[in-house]
Amino acid sequence: MSSNEIIDSSQGSPRGRAHWSSRVGFVLAAAGSAIGLGNIWKFPYITGEFGGGAFVIVYLGCVLLLGLPLMVAELMVGRRAQTNPVGAFQVLHKPGSLWQTAGWLGVASGFIILSFYSVIAGWAIAYVFKSLAGFTGTAEQIQGQFVALVTNPVQSIFWHTLFMALTIAIVAGGIKNGIERWSKILMPSLFILLTGLMFYGLFGTSGGWQAVSFLFNPDFSKLTATGFLSALGHAFFTLSLGMGAMITYGSYMERGANIVKDAITISILDTVIALMAGIAIFSLVFHYGMEPGQSVGLIFKTLPVLFKETGRWISVPFFVLLTFAALTSAISLLEVVVSYFVDRLGWKRVKATITMGTVTYLIGILSAVVSWQVSFRGQQQGFLNIFDYLTTNYMLPIGGVLTCLFVAWVMKEKDVQEEFGSTGLAYKGLRILLGYVTPLAVLMVLLHGLELLPFVSYE
């Protein structure tokens, strides 16, 4: 029996499965998943917090040595199995295999990440409208707008509703007519907008070169162990790894495409966009003599104050591109969940999308109401923080480690080789990275999340 027949009998037919219509379509959709709030909202602020260049170098190293191999691994698992993450581990091992736990963790992470992601993305939409109206008043008043938005549940839930509705509408359209089509529209638009903003930062402000040197001139004295591990954790998050998103997108790939090449392209696009966003944002920050280390409020509190000076021509495109980036990521999160319910329970796509989108939406309300707090790790905290913490520090790293180990040690060697496309030096290198290096590195992120690393001080 060929492996395809095994797939047929246990996990739904790959023959009826939708596929990307073109390589460009797949690359744009996967890059769309990778490029998101992580690149435009999170990367600049954590880079600011950890002092710039040195953090960027470590982050680039993590993308290359750990992120890229894991992306290749996820795409290989998905394409080989032609099914959702839970089913994939069974198809490639055996029915009922314990490795399916990795898939379950992924589906659960999909619900949780999307639930709070949508709340933040909703703020981005709200800021498109605030930008259209224009930012006026004192710096305190402009920053106060953000606090007012976040602490007003009716408003937060309103924008969260709108964002989830858009996400559901796209995913309900399916692989070709929903996800791929919209990625082909949104990703190039995002790129054009960001290119414009980056050139404005470089040449239209006096902060351009300072921004470039902040990002590329390493000062290793500023890099703490925490910074190092955050770079690692962020490399996974920004490439959409550790929860089966790339397994799911890989399962819609045809045989024949070169997975390694595509993974390299996707990783480069993701990295370039993050760096471009960094240049665009820090140029403004330096031009107006602000501090780069503004933490979480960088985008929603600091930038709007600067946008008061630059005007709508800069602020509207910025928040539009933030919304686009978030949308193409959110659809990949929902797709993981939907693919499971379609493959396993035989639900129609539209039904699965609306039902699961609504469930995720309801969980998201927990994050949208910031006054709902519970005690977590000895502190009163909102659900958004708790969900972010649990997924980034535990669920994604565990999912990631399991996938690496699975490909390196459990999957049939022949399957891996065929998916990789060669058995040369690059292949051997990949096996070493997946079998040893990546799991060890991720283990460190995990222990760091538990505050258990011996060489870091957790005060």
Q: Which of 38, 178, 357, 400 binds ligand TRP (CB under 6 A)?
A: 38
CA distance 315 to 320: 9
For residue 413, the minimal CB distance to ligand TRP (Å) is 28
Q: Which of 283, 332, 339, 403 binds ligand TRP (CB under 6 A)?
A: 332
Give me the residue whose beta carbon is nearest to ligand TRP.
38
Half-sphere exposure of 450 (CA within 13 A, CB side): 12
Task: State the maximum Cα–Cα separation within the chain, in Å, rounded to a whole number.
Answer: 72
Told to check if 245 binds ligand TRP by CB under 6 A, we report yes
Nearest to 230 by CA among 90, 365, 397: 397
For residue 428, the minimal CB distance to ligand TRP (Å) is 28
For residue 184, the minimal CB distance to ligand TRP (Å) is 18
From residue 288, give the alpha-carbon distance in Å to each of 77, 211, 305: 48, 12, 10
3-class secondary-structure state, position 276: helix
Told to check if 333 binds ligand TRP by CB under 6 A, we report yes
If the CB atoms of residues 34 and 142 are measured against ligand TRP, the closer one turns out to be 34
Provide the mask over 420-459, with x wherever binding to ligand TRP is found by CB under 6 A and - wherever it is not: ----------------------------------------
Q: Which residue has the tokens 């963790």?
A: 105
Q: What size, in residues, is the chain?
A: 459
Q: Which of 12, 36, 52, 53 binds ligand TRP (CB under 6 A)?
A: 36
Q: Which of 34, 62, 266, 269 binds ligand TRP (CB under 6 A)?
A: 34
User: With b meaning 16 or more CB within 10 Å and e meaning fewer, what string describes 141-178?
Assistant: ebbebbeebbeeeebbbebbbebbebbbebbbbbbeeb
Stretch that binds ligand TRP, among 33-41, 151-159, 199-207, 420-428 (CB under 6 A): 33-41
Told to check if 243 binds ligand TRP by CB under 6 A, we report yes
Told to check if 367 binds ligand TRP by CB under 6 A, we report no
From residue 289, give the alpha-carbon distance in Å to each of 138, 199, 204: 16, 19, 15
The alpha helices in 41-175, defined as continuous H runs, are 43-49, 53-62, 68-81, 85-92, 100-133, 139-150, 153-172
For residue 328, the minimal CB distance to ligand TRP (Å) is 9
For residue 329, the minimal CB distance to ligand TRP (Å) is 4
If the CB atoms of residues 77 and 305 are measured against ligand TRP, the closer one turns out to be 77
Stretch that binds ligand TRP, among 34-42, 87-95, 195-203, 418-426 (CB under 6 A): 34-42
Told to check if 37 binds ligand TRP by CB under 6 A, we report yes
Told to check if 167 binds ligand TRP by CB under 6 A, we report no
Told to check if 237 binds ligand TRP by CB under 6 A, we report yes
Told to check if 329 binds ligand TRP by CB under 6 A, we report yes
The interface with ligand TRP within residues 380-399 (CB under 6 A) comprises 396
CA distance 119 to 162: 10
CA distance 140 to 415: 59
Nearest to 211 by CA among 221, 198, 220, 196: 198
DSSP label at residue 51: T
Give the DSSP per-residue string, 142-184: HHHHHHHHHT-HHHHHHHHHHHHHHHHHHHHT-IIIIIIHHHH
Q: Which residues make beta-bridge pairs with 376?
A: 379
From residue 409, give the alpha-carbon distance in Å to each of 93, 124, 406, 432: 11, 42, 5, 11
For residue 85, the minimal CB distance to ligand TRP (Å) is 11
Residue 369, both tokens: 């109401």
If the CB atoms of residues 60 and 139 are measured against ligand TRP, the closer one turns out to be 60
Residue 19, both tokens: 């596929």
Nearest to 300 by CA among 119, 52, 115, 34: 119
Residue 143, both tokens: 């920053």
Provide the mask over 107-146, with x wherever binding to ligand TRP is found by CB under 6 A and - wherever it is not: ------x---------------------------------
If the CB atoms of residues 108 and 149 are measured against ligand TRP, the closer one turns out to be 108
Stretch that binds ligand TRP, among 328-336, 337-345, 354-362, 400-408 (CB under 6 A): 328-336
Stretch that binds ligand TRP, among 36-44, 287-295, 297-305, 421-429 (CB under 6 A): 36-44
Told to check if 33 binds ligand TRP by CB under 6 A, we report yes
Stretch that binds ligand TRP, among 17-25, 239-247, 259-267, 364-372 (CB under 6 A): 239-247
If the CB atoms of residues 245 and 305 are measured against ligand TRP, the closer one turns out to be 245
For residue 174, the minimal CB distance to ligand TRP (Å) is 18
Interface positions with ligand TRP (CB under 6 A): 33-34, 36-39, 113, 237-238, 240, 242-243, 245, 329, 332-333, 396
